[in-house]
C-alpha cells in the first residue's frame, strides 16, 4: 500500500521460489555456501558478524576479510554478544570493526531509509544503513549477511513451538492492537483471512513463510539500497529438500541443519545461543511519552508497550511528519453560553489550518479567574466538539500555552485581538516562536459575548 500521496512504497519480492536450490543436509548446505563465496572472490567483502552461529558459519568461509559488529550504548548493551563476535573474528583472522550505534545516529539515518522505502521502517534498518556506510568508507564493495538462515532452516522456534489458532496468531502477528493507538484504525483481518481454513484455524506456517520472510528480507534490501551497498545472503537462495521437522525444532533443535554445519566448521568451539539482532529499543524509548500527531489516540497507555511497539508508533509519526505535513491549529476558551462570536472564531481558525484542536477550560479554571460558568464543563466540551470546524476537543487545565504546545505540537495558536500587544501575550508569542509556533489574533465579533448574554439574562430575570 502507499503510505502517503506521491510517495511510492518500495517492497520487492526477494527471490523467486523456483530459483531456490534444494539441500538435504549440512554437507550440501556448506557446499552451496562455498559456491557463493567462490563467485565473489574478486570483491572486497565485509561481514555483518554477530555472536550467533549463522554469521559465524559465514565467517569461516571468509578468512582474512573485514567484519562489522554492532556496539550499542557505549558497549554496555549485550556485552556477551560482542565477546562471541570477537572470538569468531579472531578465529578466522578477520579485521573486526565496531559499528557504534546510539539514538542520535538512528535519528540521523532514519530519513534515508524511509525515503528509499517510501514507508515507515523496521528498527534494524537505520543501524544496517549506518553499518553499510561505515563499510563503504573502508573500501568494502559488498556486505555479507546471514539473515536467511532463520527462515530457511527453522530458526523461528518460539513461533513454531505451538500450533496456533486463527485468533491467537492474528493477535501475535499484529504486534500491536491498532485500536489501542489510532483514532481511525483499519482492521487487517483481510490479510489473515488469506491463510484461514476451517473454523478458527490458520495456515500460520505458510503466512510466516510468505509475509514474515519477505518483510525481513525487504528490511535488509532497503537499508543497503539506501546506502548504495550491494549485499549477499548465502542462505536465502537455499531450501530444505524435505519439510522442516517441527518435532526436532519444538524439542530444542532449532535450525538443526545449521547446528550440524556449525559443529563441522568449529569443532572446538561451543555452540552459541540464538539471539536476534540486538537493538536497545527499550532503553531508547524508556522516557518517551508517546506520539502527539492527531492521528494517534491521546489516551495510549505507554507503560504496557514494549520498546519495539513504541518504535512502530514513533517511526510512523516521523513518517507522517515528513511526508504528510499537517498544519495544526490550537485555540482555547470557556465557551460558556455558546454564541455567534465563538462560532466565528472557530470558523476563521479552521480556515487557516488543517486540524483544529480546541481547549475548553474546566470549571475550576474558570473559577480561578474569578468567574463562574453557567454551563457545566462537560456540556461545554460536548457542545464545542459538535461544531464541524473542530477536529478535536481537549481539556484546558491551566493557562500555560507552552505546556499545551508540548502536548499538541500545534503550528499556530488563535486568540482574540483584545490580548494583542499585552505583556502577557508578548511573552507567550516569544516562547512559542522559539519552538516554531506562531500566534494569530482574530477580532472578536462585536456586540456579543458570553458575559453580555449572561448579564442580559440576569436583567431579564430581575425585571420579570
Q: What is the CATH number of the domain that holds 95?
A: 3.40.50.620
User: Total structural domains in the chain?
Assistant: 2
Residue 85's pLDDT is: 94
Which distant-in-sequence residues (6+ apart) come within 8 Å of 280 by Cβ? Answer: 72, 73, 77, 307
Residue 208 falls within a domain, yes or no? yes
Q: Is residue 295 part of a domain?
A: no
Distance CA 244, CA 255 (A): 9
Domain that includes residue 430, residue range = 326-463
Q: 401-447 pLDDT, tens per residue?
A: 999 999 999 999 999 888 899 999 999 999 999 999 999 999 876 65
Q: What is the signed CA dihedral for 90, 92, 97, 98, rounded to 10 degrees?
A: -60
Same domain, 252 and 156: yes
Res 212: pLDDT: 80
Kindly state whether residue 419 falls inside one of the protein's structural domains: yes
Residue 274 CA to residue 155 CA, distance in Å, equals: 9
Is 206 an active-site residue? no
Strand ranges (E), 163-273: 196-197, 201-202, 231-232, 238-240
Residues 276 and 361 in one domain: no
- The one catalytic residue among 24, 369, 424, 438: 369
Percent of the chain with pLDDT over 70: 94
- Domain-located, residue 354: yes
In a domain, 186, yes or no: no
Other CB atoms closer than 10 Å to residue 430's CB: what's the count?
A: 10
425 within 8 A of 433, measured Cβ to Cβ: no
Clarify whether residues 286 and 338 are in a common domain.
Answer: no
Q: What is the pLDDT of residues 218-234, one digit of tens each?
A: 999 999 999 999 999 99
The domain boundary, picked from 269, 290, 311, lies at 290
Count of residues in the chain: 464
Of 290, 317, 337, which one is at a domain's C-terminal end? 290
Euclidean distance between CA atoms 114 and 217, whole angstroms: 16
For the sheet with 355-361, list strands across it: 392-396, 355-361, 328-333, 412-416, 438-442
Of 246, 269, 290, the position where a domain reaches its end is 290
- Looking at the fold, whether 250 and 362 belong to one and the same domain comes out as no
Q: Are 413 and 436 in contact (CB under 8 A)?
A: no
- Domain co-membership, 56 together with 112: yes
111 occurs within a structural domain: yes
CA distance 170 to 174: 6
Query: Could you identify the residue written with the cell 500527531?
Result: 293
pLDDT band at 450 (very low <50, low <70, confident <90, very high): low
* CB half-sphere exposure, 250, CA atoms < 13 A: 8
Place of cell 522559539: 434
Same domain, 363 and 286: no
Inside any domain, residue 434: yes
pLDDT value at residue 331: 97
Q: Tell whether 283 and 371 lie within a shared domain.
A: no
Question: How many Cα atoms within 13 Å fall on the side-chain side of residue 97?
Answer: 20
Pair 125, 223: CB distance under 8 Å: yes
Shared-domain flag, residues 277 and 341: no
pLDDT in tens, 80-114: 889 999 999 999 999 999 999 999 999 999 999 99
Q: What is the pLDDT of residues 1-22, one digit of tens each?
A: 788 888 888 876 667 777 899 9
Rounded-to-integer distance, Cα 323 and Cα 392, Å: 22
Task: Assess whether 79 carries a catalytic annotation.
Answer: no
Residues 126 and 261 both lie in one domain: yes
Beta bridge partners of residue 4, listed in sequence order: 7
Beta carbons within 10 angstroms of residue 87's beta carbon: 16
249 in the same domain as 131: yes
> Mean pLDDT, the chain, as a whole number?
90
Extended beta strands in 128-256, E state: 142-144, 196-197, 201-202, 231-232, 238-240
Q: Is residue 141 part of a domain?
A: yes
In this structure, are 286 and 331 located in the same domain?
no
Region of residue 97 (phi > 0: left; psi between -120 and 50: alpha; otherwise: beta): beta
Indicate the burial class of 273 (C-beta count within 10 angstroms; 0-12, 13-18, 19 or more). exposed
Q: Are residues 286 and 330 in the same domain?
A: no
Task: Using alpha carbons only, give the angle 175, 176, 180 rounded to the nearest 5 degrees.
Answer: 170
Give ∠ CA 153-156-158 in degrees, rounded to 5.
140
Amino acid at each position: 500500500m502507499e503510505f502517503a500521496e506521491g510517495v511510492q512504497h518500495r517492497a520487492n519480492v526477494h527471490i523467486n521460489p523456483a530459483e531456490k536450490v534444494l539441500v538435504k543436509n549440512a554437507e550440501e548446505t556448506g557446499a552451496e555456501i562455498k559456491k557463493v563465496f567462490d563467485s565473489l572472490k574478486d570483491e572486497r567483502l565485509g561481514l555483518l558478524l554477530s555472536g550467533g552461529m549463522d554469521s559465524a558459519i559465514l565467517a569461516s568461509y571468509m578468512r582474512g576479510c573485514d567484519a562489522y559488529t554492532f556496539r550499542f550504548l557505549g558497549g554496555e548493551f549485550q556485552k556477551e554478544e560482542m565477546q562471541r563476535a570477537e572470538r569468531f573474528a579472531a578465529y578466522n583472522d578477520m579485521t573486526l570493526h565496531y559499528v557504534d550505534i546510539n539514538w542520535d545516529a538512528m535519528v540521523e539515518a532514519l530519513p534515508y531509509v524511509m525515503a528509499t522505502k517510501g514507508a515507515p521502517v523496521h528498527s534494524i534498518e537505520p543501524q544496517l544503513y549506518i553499518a553499510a556506510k561505515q563499510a563503504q568508507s573502508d573500501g568494502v564493495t559488498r556486505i555479507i549477511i546471514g539473515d536467511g538462515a532463520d527462515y530457511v532452516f527453522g530458526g523461528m522456534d518460539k513461533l513454531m513451538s505451538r500450533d496456533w489458532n486463527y485468533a491467537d496468531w492474528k493477535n501475535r502477528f499484529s504486534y500491536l492492537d491498532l485500536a489501542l493507538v489510532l483514532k481511525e484504525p483499519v482492521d487487517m483481518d483481510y490479510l489473515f483471512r488469506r491463510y484461514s481454513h476451517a473454523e478458527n484455524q490458520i495456515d500460520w506456517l505458510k503466512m510466516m513463510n510468505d509475509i514474515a520472510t519477505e518483510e525481513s528480507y525487504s528490511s535488509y534490501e532497503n537499508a543497503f539500497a539506501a546506502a548504495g551497498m550491494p549485499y549477499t545472503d548465502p542462505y536465502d537462495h537455499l531450501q530444505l529438500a524435505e519439510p522442516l521437522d517441527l518435532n526436532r525444532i519444538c524439542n530444542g533443535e532449532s535450525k538443526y541443519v545449521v547446528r550440524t554445519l556449525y559443529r563441522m566448521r568449529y569443532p572446538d568451539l561451543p555452540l552459541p545461543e540464538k539471539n536476534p539482532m540486538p537493538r536497545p529499543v527499550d532503553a531508547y524509548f524508556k522516557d518517551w511519552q508517546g506520539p502527539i500527531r492527531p492521528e494517534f489516540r491521546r489516551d495510549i497507555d505507554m507503560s504496557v508497550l514494549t520498546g519495539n511497539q513504541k518504535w512502530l508508533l514513533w517511526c510512523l509519526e516521523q513518517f507522517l511528519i515528513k511526508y504528510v505535513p499537517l498544519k495544526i491549529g490550537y485555540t482555547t476558551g470557556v465557551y460558556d453560553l455558546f454564541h455567534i462570536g465563538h462560532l466565528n472564531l472557530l470558523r476563521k481558525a479552521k480556515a487557516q489550518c488543517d486540524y483544529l484542536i480546541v481547549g475548553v477550560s474546566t470549571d475550576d479554571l474558570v473559577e480561578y479567574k474569578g468567574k463562574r460558568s453557567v454551563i457545566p464543563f462537560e456540556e461545554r466540551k460536548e457542545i464545542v466538539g459538535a461544531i464541524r470546524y473542530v477536529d478535536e476537543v481537549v481539556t484546558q487545565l491551566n493557562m500555560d500555552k507552552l505546556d499545551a504546545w508540548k502536548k499538541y505540537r500545534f503550528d499556530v495558536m488563535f486568540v482574540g485581538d483584545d490580548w494583542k500587544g499585552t505583556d502577557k501575550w508578548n511573552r507567550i508569542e516569544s516562547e512559542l516562536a522559539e519552538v516554531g509556533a506562531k500566534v494569530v489574533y482574530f477580532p472578536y465579533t462585536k456586540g456579543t459575548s458570553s458575559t453580555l448574554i449572561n448579564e442580559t439574562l440576569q436583567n431579564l430575570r430581575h425585571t420579570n
